[in-house]
A = this chain, B = another copy of it.
């Protein structure tokens, strides 16, 4: 089972609530099991450049079945995955992309958030995940 639009809407709502709470307008993207876009929301006044980044964060997480920031730890100069970002038409390897799993632990998609610091992005994505 892949994530449904209803589930994606619930997650996005939770992420938006968190974003409002911390006062940072965010871009929120959700992809399904196949890494295809299910939903996207750009809050008013959120960064335009983060439309693309939030979508790539969600895809990056699903592409490698780990949070996007984990990739970045390995892709630094001298690291084992240096410049992996050049694959797949462009990855985003800093935090803000988080995997989505169902109750049994099966991966059903991923959420990507961009618009603030990477810590804020990750927090807002995590608030979305918590609504699953």
Number of this chain's copies in the complex? 4
Contact with B along A51-77 (1 / 0, CB 8 A): 111001001101111000000100111
CB pair B77 A94 closer than 8 Å: no
In the assembled complex, how far is the CB of residue A41 from the closest CB belonging to chain B, in whole angstroms?
5
The count of residues in chain A whose C-beta lies closer than 8 Å to any C-beta of chain B is 53
Dominant SS among interface residues on chain A: loop
In the assembled complex, how far is the CB of residue A115 from the closest CB belonging to chain B, in whole angstroms?
9
Contact with B along A76-95 (1 / 0, CB 8 A): 11101111111111111111
Binding site for B on A (CB under 8 A): 4-5, 9, 32-44, 47-53, 56, 59-60, 62-65, 72, 75-78, 80-95, 117-118
